[in-house]
Amino acid sequence: MKVTYHGHSVVEIQTNGKTILIDPFISGNGQCNHEASEMKCDVILLTHGHNDHVGDTVELAKKNEALVVAPFELATYLGWQGLNVHPMHIGGAHEFEFGTVKLTQAFHGSSYTDEENQQIIYTGMPAGILFKAEGKTIYHAGDTALYSDMKLLAEHQIDVAFLPIGDNFTMGPEDAATASKWIDAKTTVPMHYNTFPVIEQDPHKFVEKLEEGKGKVLESGESIEL
């Protein structure tokens, strides 16, 4: 299994002959080294409906005939736009041919902003994602605050955890360090930082807060082999 970080909260997983994108915010993501037109995927997993997470989902899903897995309300909204969707909700898991997806809690908001019409479209509750394949487990926290039930995630023996550190909209470095300790993943990778001025952080300083050997900064385009 190969796991690649593309800046902000974009994570690519290659497993079982499939390419999976989580929260594919490519266009407008200055941290990403690719154009949306270059990206290939079989599956898109979404944590919530904010524009910087849904990103290029519609374009990518239509171009690649990709399956989109998302919380129910967001999946419904995207299904109305002609996408092939699989709706889920928090606490539920489903075994797909490419791996098992389980949605976890995330304390945040979830809506899609239509700037042209000045409308905010409600897209259900936000979520985190536990993804399991090839005997490995990846946790993508989505956008979230620190919450005490994160301690329960340690039971999943997570190999790689992607945690937001940007502050202002999500956990900052201090709370993310606490989350990392509770989750006890083999490797914690910071995400959701430096895309916008208000979430500028030093990921290396964050990793220094973690137990030695437990954190790793991935530059955009860098990968971990599991």
Domains of the chain: 2-129+191-211 (3.60.15.10)
C-alpha count within 13 angstroms, C-beta hemisphere, residue 7: 20
pLDDT 10s digits, 50-108? 999 999 999 999 999 999 999 999 999 999 999 999 999 999 999 999 999 999 999 99
Residue 15's closest CA among 134, 129, 103, 95?
Answer: 134
> Average model confidence (pLDDT) for the chain?
97
Does this model's pTM top 0.95? My answer is yes
Q: Return the pLDDT at 33.
A: 87
Percent above pLDDT 90 for the chain: 97
Calculate mean pLDDT across residues 149-169: 98
Q: What are phi and psi of 41, to 5 degrees?
A: -160, 155
**pLDDT category of residue 144 using cuts at 50, 70 and 90:** very high
- Buried-exposed string 38-67: b where 16+ CB fall within 10 A, e elsewhere: ebebbbbbbbbbbebbbbbbeebbeebebb
Tell how many helices (H) and how many strands (E) occur in the chain: 5, 15
Residue 138's closest CA among 94, 188, 95?
Answer: 188
Task: Copy the structure tokens of residue 198.
Answer: 């208000």
Q: Return the pLDDT at 69.
A: 98
Q: Which residues are CB-contacts of 70 (< 8 A; sequence separation ≥ 6)? A: 45, 46, 78, 85, 86, 87, 88
Task: Copy the structure tokens of residue 226.
Answer: 């599991």
Beta carbons within 10 angstroms of residue 95's beta carbon: 10
Q: Which residues are CB-contacts of 78 (< 8 A; sequence separation ≥ 6)? A: 54, 57, 58, 61, 68, 70, 85
**pLDDT category of residue 37 using cuts at 50, 70 and 90:** confident
Residue 109 has pLDDT above 90, yes or no: yes
Task: Copy the structure tokens of residue 36.
Answer: 């949306």
Q: Return the pLDDT at 10.
A: 98
Calculate mean pLDDT across residues 185-199: 98
